[in-house]
Amino acid sequence: MRKLIVISHITLDGVLQAMGGPDEDTSGGFVHGGWVTRYSDEVVGAAIKREMNLPFELLIGRKTFDIWSPYWPHHADIWPGVNTTTKYIASNTLTTHEWQPTVFLGGDIAPKIAELKKQAKPDLHVYGSGNLIQTLLKYDLVDAMWLKIYPLTLGSGKRLFVEGTIPAAFNVTDSQISPKGVIMANYERVI
């Protein structure tokens, strides 16, 4: 059985929205996009590169797919694995796309993801996908979280944890602090 791992960059107040750039996700009037930029350093970069080079299959929501699908096929030099791995996309409207291999999961996705977890394949990595993460947490499908916690608050934006999160316990399996104060902590779900 493989693990489902949420890999997320969050602020101290739990915001995960539009960490990469100002126009990445402006939904809800979000104006703080690109908030990770000033905290980039070699330690955070090395951690990200390590995660990107692990065997994985991708599980993301529709909005993250819409951001990634025009970008990653043209940047294989940065992350070759994202183009060749199977990408599972939570979407009730898309059924096909040229970025392959891609599988679309519509309707009640929790049981479908539970079945995916039973497969003897690489771990499922979840990036971005704030709405999808809420579903995964609600149905207790998250096995691990690899978080990068940045030393700032934004006050608004999509958050990692919102109402409806079930009680859960996690053990810290790895942690490190970057020179610019980013806490990188890996958590495994206590069964």
Q: Report how far residue 8's alpha carbon sits from residue 19's, in angstroms, rounded to the nearest whole number.
A: 10
Tell me the CATH number of domain 4-182, given options 3.30.1120.10, 3.40.50.970, 3.90.79.10, 3.40.430.10. Answer: 3.40.430.10
Q: Report how far residue 74's alpha carbon sits from residue 52's, in angstroms, rounded to the nearest whole number.
A: 16
| pLDDT tens, position by position, 5-33 | 999 999 999 999 999 999 999 999 999 99
Is the peptide bond preceding residue 101 cis, with omega within 30 degrees of 0? Answer: yes
| pLDDT tens, position by position, 103-137 | 999 999 999 999 999 999 999 999 999 999 999 99
**What pTM does this model have?**
0.96
What amino acid is encoded at 74 in this protein?
H
